[in-house]
Structure 1
Amino acid sequence: MTDSQWWQPHRHSDRRPALLARNRIQRAIRGWLDDNEFVEVDPAALAVSPGNETHLHGFATQMIGNDGNGRAMYLHTSPEFAMKKLLAAGERRIAAFSHVWRNRERTALHHPEFTMLEWYRVGEDYTVLMDDCADFLMLAAEAAGANTFRFRDVVCDPYASPERISVADAFAEYAGIDLLATIAPDGWTDRDGLAAQVTRSGVTPADGDTWSDLFSRVLADRVEPHLGRGCATVLDRYPVPEAALARRAADDPRVAERFELYACGVEIANGFGELTDAAEQRRRFQADMAERQRIYGEAYPLDEDLLAALEIMPDASGIALGFDRLVMLATAAPSVQAVMWAPVPDPG
C-alpha cells in the first residue's frame, strides 16, 4: 500500500496538486482560528505516557540523562494531555496542528505518523465544537476548490449542515439493537444481553468478544457505512464505556458528552465535553490499562501531572480532527498517504 518512491519526479508531479491544496486548507483553518481568538500552541511530542486507551498503541523510545541513565518515554498519540495542562495553566482557547504517532495503524485511512488538529474551548458546551467542524468542512472545500467531498464511491456535500444522531438511535435504526438496555447507570454493561441482540441482528460475535468488542463490531459493520452520505453526520452521545475522557451527560448517566464527525463514511473528528474529575479519570485509565494488559500483555504508565492538572482545569470542550483525512476528502484522494508531503516508508 505504501509507495516508497513517492519522491520520483513524475510521482511527485501527480501528487503535488493535492499537497498544495493541503497547504491552502491549513492556511484557511489557521486564519479561522486567529479570527476566533484561538492561541496556536506547539506541544512537545515526547511524553511520559502515549495515552491510556485500551487499543491505542504508542511508539516507545528512551530519554538518556546527563548521567547516562535512561528513562522510558513515548511519542504522543495526541497532544491532548499537554493541552489540558495548558488549560489548567490558564489558557482558554487553544489549538494545535501536531504530528502524532500511532503504532499498528497503516491502511488507506491510517498512517503511523499523521497530523492532528486539536482545539479546546474553556467554559463552552461541547456542541459548539460541532459548529466548528461544519465551518472547517466548508473552509476545506473552498480552499481545495471542491463542490463535494469524495472517498471511493461515497460523496458528501461539505456545504450542507451536518445531520446529528445519537449512538443509541443509530444502533436502533441501522441494526435493530437497543443499546442502552445493556448499560446500567453506573456504567456496568450486559455483555450477554448485547451478544444476543447482535446475533439476532445478523452479526456473528467472535469467541471471547467483550461488550466493547461487540459494540465496535456493530458500529463498524452496520452503522458507519450509513454515516456521512450526502451530508456530514455527527454521531453523538457515546456510551460511557466508550468515552474514557468525556464527562457523563447530565440527563442520562449511561451516555457521555462525546461525538464523532463522519463524512463519506469516514470518521474525521472526535469531540468531548471534557472530564475534569481526576479521581474518575484515574479509575477509567486504570481499568483501560488493566484491559490492555489482558489483551496485549503490556500497559502504559499514567501521566500523574495530567491527573494533578485536572484538579484545577476548568470545564472545557475539546476535539481532535484528522487533518490528513480532511484533506483526503476535499481532494478526492485515495488515501491519507496521498496527501502527505513525505509519507513514512513501510519497513515490511
Structure 2
Amino acid sequence: MTVPSPWWNPDRHADRRPALMARNRITAALRGHFSERDFVEVEAACLQVSPGNEAHLSAFATEILGADGVSHPLYLHTSPEFACKTLLAAGERRIVSFSRVFRNRERGPLHHPEFTMLEWYRAGEDYTQLMRDCSETLALAAEAAGTRILIHRGREADPFAPFECLTLAEAFSKLGIDLLATVGPDGSTDRDGFAASVAEAGLRVAADDTWADLFSRVLVARIEPGLGLGRPTILCEYPVCEAALARPSPCDPRVAERFELYACGVELANAFGELTDPAEQRRRFTLAMDEKERVYGERYPIDEAFLEALAIMPEASGIALGLDRLVMLCVGAPHIEDVLWTPVTGGRS
C-alpha cells in the first residue's frame, strides 16, 4: 500500500488547497449569517473541570498548576456546550461559537481528535426553529462553496431541497421494531423485549447487550446509512433515555426534544430543546458516568458550577454542527483530513 505524502508536502497541499479555501468561504459566510441575525459570537475556554458527561466520549486530560505548585486536573472540552449554556444563564440571548474541540479515541474518515464545532443557542425559542436554521445553513454553505449538491462517497443530497423529517419510532418501524413499546413514560426500558425485536430484524444480540447497545447497533447498521439521500433528513423524537441533555417532549414523555441532521448518510448536527432542571441533569450525568465506568473503567467529574448556572438558565434551544463534515460534503472530500488546514500528526485511518 502506498503511504500518502504528509499534508505539508507542497504538491499535496496544492491538491488540498481548493477545499481549504472553500472552507474559509463557508466559515466567513456562516459568521456573517449569524451576525445579521443578532447572534453574538462567543469564545468558550477549551480547558474545563469536566469535558462533558457522555458515556462514550473520551477526553484529553491535563492539569493546571497553582502558584503554590499544587496541581489540579482539567480537561480539553469535547464541546463548548456547558460554557455556552452558562452564558445563557448569565443573560445572553442568542450566541454562536466556532470552537476547537477535542475527542480522544476518535480517528477515521469522519472523525479527528481535534475538530471544529459550530454551536448556536436561542434563549426563549423553540427547538423547531433550529430545524429552519439548519435549512438555511446548508444552503448558505453550498452557495459559499460554489456547489449545488452535497456529495460523500457516491451519495448525494440537495442542500436546497425541503428536508425530510423522520421520527425514531418511524425509522425503527420500517424494520419491524416497535421502539416506543420498549420505553416507559419514566424513561425506563424493556431490554429483553427490545432484544427479541432486534434479533427478529436480523441483527446480532449478545447476552450482555444493554438496551442502549442495541439501540445504537440498529441505528448505525440499518438506519443511518439511508438517511439524507437525495435530500437532508431530520431524525427527531429520540427516546428520552438517549437524550441526556434534552428536555422531555410535552406531547409524549417517552421521547425528548432532540433531533439530528443527516446528509449523504453522514450525521452533521445534534440539537436539543435544552434541559434546565439541575437535579434531573445531575441524575442523568451520574447514570452516564456509571455506564462509562462499567465500560471503560473511568468517569469524569460533574461540573458543579454548570449545574448551579442551569438552575437560572432560561428555556432555550441549542445545536452543535460539525463544521469540518459540512465542508467535506460541500467539496466532495472523502476524508475529514482533506478539509483541515493542519491535521494532527500521527497517521490517518
SS at match of 1:334: coil
| 1:208 Cα offset (Å) | 1.1
CA RMSD of aligned residues (A): 1.2
Superposition map of 1:95-244 within 5 A: 95-173=96-174, 175-244=175-244
State the alpha-carbon separation in 1 of the partners of residues 274 and 206 from structure 2: 33
Q: How many residues align?
A: 347
What is the deviation of 1:346? Answer: 1.6
TM-fit CA distance, 1:336:
1.1
Aligned residues of 1:2 and 1:346 also touching (Cα < 8 A):
no
Give 1:3 deviation, angstroms: 5.4
How big is the shift at 1:347? Answer: 6.3
Aligned to 2:33: 32
Contact 2:5/2:12 (8 A) holds in 1: no
Identity of aligned residues (%): 63
- Deviations, residues 80-106 of structure 1 (Å, cap 9, x unaligned): 000011000000000000000000100
Q: Distance in 2 between matches of 1:346 and 1:210?
A: 34
User: Structure 1 stretches (4+) deviating beyond 6 angstroms?
Assistant: none
| Long gaps (5+) in structure 2 | none
Q: Which amino acid aligns with 2:181?
A: A
The letter for the 2-side match of 1:59 is F
Deviation at 1:207, TM superposition (A): 3.4
Deviation at 1:206, TM superposition (A): 2.7
Q: Report the equivalent of 2:337.
A: 337
Q: How does 1:261-280 map to 2 (within 5 A)?
A: 261-280=261-280
Q: Quick check: 1:161–1:231 contact (8 Å CA) kept in 2?
A: yes
* 1:51 pairs with 2:47: no
Gaps of 5+ in 1: none
| Distance of 2:334 and 2:3 partners within structure 1 | 12
The Cα offsets for residues 175-204 of structure 1, whole Å up to 9 and x where unpaired, read as 211000000001110111100000000111
Partner of 2:315: 315
TM-score (norm 1): 0.98
SS at match of 2:25: helix
| Whole-Å separation in 2 of the counterparts to 1:3 and 1:62 | 35
**Counterpart residue type for residue 253 of structure 2:** P
In 2, Cα distance between equivalents of 1:205 and 1:41 = 45
Aligned counterpart, 1:288: 288
Q: Is the 8 A contact 1:4 1:346 kept in 2?
A: no
CA distance, structure 1, for counterparts of residue 276 and residue 314 of structure 2: 7
Matched residues in 1 for 2:92 and 2:322: separation?
23
Structure 1 residues 294 and 34: alpha-carbon distance in aligned structure 2, compared to 1, 3 A threshold: same
1:251-270 aligned within 5 A: 251-270=251-270
Post-superposition Cα deviations, 1:15-60, rounded to whole Å, max 9, x if no partner, equal: 0000000000001100110110000000110000000010010000
Classify 1:40/1:212 alpha carbon distance in 2 versus 1 (closer, same or farther; 3 Å): same
Q: Distance in 2 between matches of 1:50 and 1:256?
A: 23
